[in-house]
Structure 1
Amino acid sequence: MEFPESIKQQTCRDCLSGKTLGFEIKMAFQPIVDWHKQAIVAYEALVRGPEGQGAGWVFERINDDNRYYFDQACRVKAIETATRLGCQAYLNINFLPNAVYSPETCIKATIEAADLYGFDLTKLVFEVTESEQIIDKNHLQRIFSSYSKRGFKTAIDDYGSGYARMDWLVDLRPDILKLDMQLIRDIEQHPDQQKMVKQVVQQCLLQGTQVLAEGIETRGELDCILALGIHLVQGYYFAKPELEHLASVPFSSL
C-alpha cells in the first residue's frame, strides 16, 4: 500500500502539531484472563465517545481525512489512560492497518507516548481491528514484522469473521490469535464449531501462536473452551468493558 508523498508529509506535520479529530475520545478497558493462573494478564483498550458512546458512534465520524489521526490518537489515549489508571498488565491496542503508511514512521508517536507517560513498551500488543477491510496482506505483513522487531506483540482479532482465514494466520504468524465470538457462542452445543476451533488450535501450536477465546458469556462456553486447550479468555462472563476503569474479575465466584 503506497500513500502519496503529500499525504505522508502532511500527516507527519499534523501529528507533530497536535492536530485533533474534532471530537474527544475516551477508552474503556476489558480484562483478558489466563484461566490457569486465575489472573488478569492484559486489558484491551476499546474506544468510546466523550460521554461513553459506543465504538459505532465513534467510527461513524471516521473517514479518509481523519483515519490516520484517529489511529494515532487511539494509541496515545490508550497508553495515557492505562498509565494513569496504574495498569501493570499487557495493554492491547486496536490499530487500523490502512491508516499506517509506514510502520517505522507511524510507530513514533506510540513510542513517544509510552516514554512520556512511563508505560513499558514491551507490554504493548497491537491487534488488527475488524472495522475496515484489509486490502493488502503484504502491507499488513510488513507492519507485523516491523512491530515484532521492536519487541511489540501482534494479534489478529475476531478470527473466523471477515478477512480472517487460515492462510492469513499462517502468513502473518501473530503472537496471539483471538477467536471471534461467533465461533464461541454456544460452542458446547455445536460440534462443528468445536472441530473448527480444534483445527485452529493445532495450527497455532505448530507456529507458536497463542489462542485467545473472546466473547465468552456462559460457564458452558468456558468449560468447552478449556477442554479444547485454550486458557486465555475474555468476555462478559468475566467482566464488561468499563470506561476509564480497570475492571477486576471475581474469580472466586465464577
Structure 2
Amino acid sequence: MTCSSCSIILPIKDQGLLKIRNSKVTLDSVIVRLGMPSGQWREDAIVFRYNSRSELEQLVHGLARLPQEWLDHMEAAVIGLNHTEGEDWLQFGQLQARLQNPDLMTIIKDESFTSHMQPIVDHQLNIIGFEFLLRPSHPGRPFHPFRLFEAAREAGLHAHLDRLARISAIEKSARCLPAGMKRFINFLPSTIYNSAYCINHTFETISRLSMHTEDFVFEVVETEEIDDLNVLHHIFEQYREQGISMALDDVGAGYSTTELMNCLQPDYVKIDRSLIDGCHCNSDQQRQITGIVESASHFGGQVLAEGVEQLEDFEFCREAGVSLAQGYLFGKPEPVPPPNFILSRVV
C-alpha cells in the first residue's frame, strides 16, 4: 500500500518531454491560443520536446499566459526521453513551483535536513522531553523551515516532506534520547491523505527502531483552517490507539482556537508564544492563559507555555497552573541534547 502524495520525487531531466492535458479545454485550442509550435498528439495529451532546462522553463512560461480558468484544470508531466520512469502528473501550478524553487526542491529530494532539539521542562525545571525542529543538515544548503514547507506545499510535496521530516525526527530521537524521555514531533494533518499508509508508516519506523510509542507526542501544526474535524478526530484516535499522545500547537493564535482545543481535547495544549511573551505584566494575556488552563483542566490536558524567554513570564505561568514550558530561557534548539540534560541558564 502506498500514498501517491508521499511518493518519491521524480527528477526533472535536462532533456525530455513536457506533456500537458486539460479536462475542460480542448488541447488544440491551447496551441492556437498560444501560437506555439505544434506538439505531438499522444492519446489525451500534447507532448513538447525540450533540450535544456531553460527551454523547458520557456515552454512553461508560455503556457502560463493561458487564462487562469484554463490553467486551473491543466496537468503537466515531465519525463525523460527514454521513458524508463513513470509519469508524475502534477497540477500546472505545482510544476511551476518546482521549476521556480530548484534549490529547495533539491533539498527535499536529497533530504538535506536534520532535526534540532529544544528542551521542554516541568514546573521544577526538570527536562521531561524535547521538541524536534527541522533544520538544514549542510551549511552550504541553508533554508528557512517555514519557507521550505511553503515551497513544498506549492509544489505538491508537503505530504512527502512532512513524512520525511517526521521519520528523520523519530530516527534522531532514537540516537539521542533514552527511553522514557518525551519526543514532541510536528505533523501536518492536511498531509494525511491515506491514513492507512501515512500513519502505519510512522508506526513501522518506531517499531523498527525498537522504541516505545508512549514516548511520542505528535503535535498538530496547521497553517490552514481544518475543514473536516471528523478526519482529524479519526487521526487522533488512530495514534492514541497505538499509545501516542497528541498535542495542539499554537493555541490562542491563528487557527488553533480554544474552540478547536475543546473539540479535540488533546493530551497537551501548547499556548502560543504571542500570549506568553510579556504575560507577567499584561492582564489581557493573563486572562487568556488562565482561561486556557481552566478549559484544559476539564479534559485533563497538560498545558505547555511556548516561547518563554523571561523568568517573570515563566513564574506567572507556573502560578497560573501551566505545568510545562519551552523557550530560549531553558535552551535553544540544538543538534544534540545538553550534557546530562542539566539546565544552566535558569537559576
TM-score, scaled to structure 1:
0.87
Alignment-derived partner of residue 219 in structure 1: 311
Alignment-derived partner of residue 22 in structure 1: 109
Alignment-derived partner of residue 43 in structure 1: 130
Alignment-derived partner of residue 250 in structure 1: 343
Q: CA deviation at 1:12?
A: 6.7
Alignment-derived partner of residue 20 in structure 2: none
Q: CA deviation at 1:166?
A: 2.1
Whole-angstrom distance in 2 between the partners of 1:162 and 1:34? 26
Give the AA of the match of 1:31: P
Matches within 5 A, 1:57-136: 57-63=147-153, 64-88=155-179, 89-136=181-228
Give the AA of the match of 2:279: I
Q: CA deviation at 1:253?
A: 4.4
Alpha-carbon contact 1:156-1:177 (below 8 Å) kept: yes
Larger Rg: 2
Whole-angstrom distance in 1 between the partners of 2:201 and 2:283? 45
Whole-angstrom distance in 2 between the partners of 1:235 and 1:12? 32
Asked which structure has the greater RCO (Cα within 8 Å, sep 6+), the reply is 1
Residue 45 and residue 138 in structure 1: after superposition, are their counterparts in 2 closer, same or farther (change >3 A)? same
Q: Which runs of 5+ in 1 are unaligned?
A: 1-7
Residue 158 and residue 128 in structure 1: after superposition, are their counterparts in 2 closer, same or farther (change >3 A)? same
| 2:250 aligns with one of 158, 163, 178 | 158
2:145 corresponds to 1:55:
yes
2:269 corresponds to 1:181:
no
Render the CA deviation track for 1:163-222: whole Å, top value 9, x for unaligned: 112221111010000000000010011011111111111111111111011110011101
Residue 133 and residue 48 in structure 1: after superposition, are their counterparts in 2 closer, same or farther (change >3 A)? farther
Secondary structure of the equivalent of 2:129? strand
Residue 202 and residue 31 in structure 1: after superposition, are their counterparts in 2 closer, same or farther (change >3 A)? same
Give the AA of the match of 1:56: F
Select between 155-164 and 50-59 the one with higher mean Cα deviation: 50-59
Whole-angstrom distance in 1 between the partners of 2:243 and 2:3? 27
Q: CA deviation at 1:69?
A: 1.3
Residue 87 and residue 58 in structure 1: after superposition, are their counterparts in 2 closer, same or farther (change >3 A)? farther
Alpha-carbon contact 2:188-2:220 (below 8 Å) kept: yes
Alpha-carbon contact 1:158-1:180 (below 8 Å) kept: yes
Secondary structure of the equivalent of 2:332? coil
Aligned pairs, how many? 242
Give the AA of the match of 2:114: K
Q: CA deviation at 1:86?
A: 3.2
RMSD value, Cα: 2.3
Secondary structure of the equivalent of 2:109? coil
Secondary structure of the equivalent of 1:47? strand
Q: Which runs of 5+ in 2 are unaligned?
A: 10-106
Q: CA deviation at 1:9?
A: 4.9
Select between 181-190 and 97-106 the one with higher mean Cα deviation: 97-106
Alpha-carbon contact 1:47-1:54 (below 8 Å) kept: no
Render the CA deviation track for 1:131-182: whole Å, top value 9, x for unaligned: 4443332221221122112211000001011111222111101000000000
Alignment-derived partner of residue 69 in structure 2: none
Residue 158 and residue 250 in structure 1: after superposition, are their counterparts in 2 closer, same or farther (change >3 A)? same
Give the AA of the match of 2:299: Q
Whole-angstrom distance in 1 between the partners of 2:303 and 2:258? 13
Alpha-carbon contact 1:238-1:249 (below 8 Å) kept: no
Give the AA of the match of 2:137: P
Secondary structure of the equivalent of 1:46? strand
Alignment-derived partner of residue 171 in structure 1: 263
